[in-house]
Amino acid sequence: MPDYPRDRLDVKLVVEEDDPETVAEAELAASAYAFEVIIVPCGEPRTKPRACNYALQFARGDFLVIFDAEDRPELHQLKEAVAAFRRLPEEVVCLQARLNFFNARECWLTRMFALDYALWFDFLLPGLDRLGVPMPLGGTSNHFRISALKAIHGWDPFNVTEDADLGIRLTRLGLRVRTLESTTYEEAPNETVHWVRQRTRWLKGYMQTWLVHMRNPVQLWRNAGAGGFFGFQLFVGGTVLSALLNPLLWLIFVLSFFVDLPLPIFAGATHSISGFGLLMGNALFAYLAMLGPYRRGWLDLSPYALLVPVYWLLISVAAYRALW
Amino acid sequence: MNWYWLSTGALLIGFWAILTARLRASHFNPLGAAALAALALAQPAYIGQDALRAGLLALAAYAVTSSGQAFVERQDPKRIVFLGSSLAGAQLASPVWGVLASLAFPLAVRRLLPVFEPARLAGLYISLFFIPALMALTFVGLFVAGQLEIPHWSVQAKPRIIESASHLLSIAILTLPLLLAVKLRPRKPPTFLAITVCALMAGSSTVIDLFGFESAAFRLQYGAAVAGLTIVVVSSWNADYGRLRFAVFAVSASPLLCWILKTMDLRAAHG
């Protein structure tokens, strides 16, 4: 249990109505710890954000946090979040805790995933926070001021990455998301097929989020400002675009050595410069992944960063599945 | 506009500022720090036709030593990038010394690091070697693509042992100021690092000269680099009475020896 006064906790286990086994387990757990089970009625779309929106109406108190079932937040996370909310201005309505995995060293895939998360949550997100650029939220350990969350009507039930969408929406409404130093440990999928399915969903959600917010780019610019607009293009649109383009660029580069490509853009020095750019770009990001786990002292994971180009190919597979 | 001298001047001014800042950080007074830094840079190597190269070499040697010290103190990403980049920069300043330093220097500093488990140590060193390895691979790639020539290549049939003896003697003499600085005060990690960098430069220079590469100008460049390393050692001394006097003594030895060597070279050239 987290280190927080029991009488100040209002824990809800949110389960779907048509999953009787989980409902039974939840009710068993709830009875042991005086939690409340919220049974979400069947309906469409059958998504996590819809379930969260349903449960939101029962939330009491001043602050709210979403955890997934297998999450292991650090002991003092709730207290740190409350202290941060009290310290920060009212416009800060959401705190994103850092995420990583308790099974990081289980296999090659979980190690790569841990590197991925370390770079994103330990380096990039705090950087975005410092720059005031809107950040896509992670799927869990988002701490909210309940009043603000209710005022914006919660999450988009149709978006499979409702967290990413919410982060952008909050910024567009003039509200802020900040990072929280505390970590929540999740379970990383240890089989490629499950990992690909999960990443497909995420990238599909990113595509949805980008399309939704770019329906009116002028309005997005006005709401989010120039920094927010370009940050959104880079970290939401760019994530999807780079995953889609990466294998194509590698293919063109490799083919250019064996085949005369009917493309004038690869004449002369352009070929060398392009190749150099591709290799150096990959090397730079591999290096960032190598340094990512240092904040946690997980130096033993750093050598695996040399294999990130292979990991990125997996991401590209997921991106094309998401597009399909 | 002579861009070469403009660049050299900017580099030397920047290097002077860096040395001054380092001395100020170890509590030398402003005038003393500025004077010591200027003394270290009063080198004949900086007024010859290889002045820019001499400046880059000295800066690279200083950067490797300084970043090595920072890395020994704490092994965080910024310091790893700093040291890795310094080693990569050393390859640009002097390919042979740079590659040797990239391989040997991280291994040499191992003795100064805290104890690491093997897996974490491997992670640390792979992170450290990454940037220098990338630089070396870039050189190889450019060489293979025919974009890079190795200058002054003249491989002799046999190593020039006797001819290289005088070169080795010059290098040994020019190292004396650094050893003097080390001897004057107790040893500390910066001292070990400075000596390591110096030894690697001396070693690579000797090997180059042994096989007939042109190295006449290198001795003075080496002397100029030693002056920068002497500043590193001097700035590690405890702040006590008489420190400035000893510092002036140690730092001035290098330019003095270099000017003597320069004068001897000029006399030999004019018969």
Write out the E strands in chain B.
none
| Contact assignment for B127 to A299 by CB distance below 8 Å | yes
Say if residues B100 and B207 touch (Cβ distance below 8 Å).
no
What percentage of chain B has pLDDT greater than the value 70? Answer: 89
Partners of A301 on chain B (C-beta within 8 Å) are 123
Q: Give a yes or no: residue A211 inside a domain.
A: no
Q: Give a yes or no: residue A277 inside a domain.
A: no
pLDDT of residue B157 exceeding 50, the answer is no
Instruction: Give me the domain span that covers residue A80.
Output: 6-110+133-190
Residue B127 near chain A (CB below 8 Å): yes
Partners of B77 on chain A (C-beta within 8 Å) are 291, 294
Cross-chain CB nearest to B130 (options A280, A290, A297): A290
The answer, as to whether pTM is greater than 0.80, is yes
Residue B142 near chain A (CB below 8 Å): no
Q: How many Å is the Cα radius of gyration of chain B?
A: 19
The residue ranking higher by pLDDT, A146 or B212, is: A146
A150, with CB counted inside 10 A (0-12, 13-18, 19+), is middle
Q: What's the order of all strands across the beta sheet hosting A72-73?
A: A63-66, A142-145, A92-101, A176-186, A72-73
Q: Please give the full DSSP string across B46-103, using - where no structure is assigned.
A: GSSTTHHHHHHHHHHHHHHHHHHHHHHH---HHHHHHHHHHHHHHHHH-HHHHHHHHH
Q: Give a yes or no: residue A116 inside a domain.
A: no
| Contact assignment for A291 to B127 by CB distance below 8 Å | yes
| CA distance, residue A293 to nearest chain B CA (Å) | 10
Q: What is the pLDDT of residue A283?
A: 93
Q: Give a yes or no: residue A159 inside a domain.
A: yes
Say if residues A175 and A228 touch (Cβ distance below 8 Å).
no
What DSSP character marks residue B239?
Answer: -
| Contact assignment for A299 to B130 by CB distance below 8 Å | no
Q: Give a yes or no: residue A180 inside a domain.
A: yes
Domain boundaries, chain B: 3-269
Q: What ipTM was estimated for this complex?
A: 0.82
CA A238 to the chain's CA centroid: 14
pLDDT 10s per residue in chain A (324 long)?
Answer: 788 998 899 999 999 998 899 999 999 888 888 789 999 999 888 888 999 999 999 999 999 999 998 999 999 999 999 999 999 999 999 999 999 999 999 999 999 999 999 999 999 999 988 888 888 888 899 999 999 999 999 999 988 888 888 988 998 898 999 999 999 999 999 999 999 999 999 999 999 999 999 999 999 999 888 888 998 999 899 999 999 999 998 888 888 878 776 666 666 677 778 888 888 999 999 999 999 999 999 999 999 999 999 999 999 999 999 998
Residue B16 near chain A (CB below 8 Å): no
Q: How far apart are CA B19 and CA B30, in angstroms?
A: 12
pLDDT band of residue B167 (cuts 50, 70, 90) is: confident
Mean pLDDT along residues B147-174: 64
Q: What is the pLDDT of residue A82?
A: 96
| Contact assignment for B130 to A300 by CB distance below 8 Å | no
Q: Which residue of B has its CA nearest to A119?
A: B77
B152: left (phi over 0), alpha (psi -120 to 50) or beta: left
The count of structural domains within chain A is 1
- Give φ, ψ of A178 to 5 degrees: -125, 165
Cα Dmax for chain A: 73
Tell me the CATH number at A97: 3.90.550.10
| Contact assignment for B119 to A299 by CB distance below 8 Å | yes
Q: Give a yes or no: residue A40 inside a domain.
A: yes
Q: Give a yes or no: residue A66 inside a domain.
A: yes
Token reading at A16: 């779907």
Q: Give a yes or no: residue A195 inside a domain.
A: no
Residue A137 near chain B (CB below 8 Å): no
Token reading at B63: 């950067």
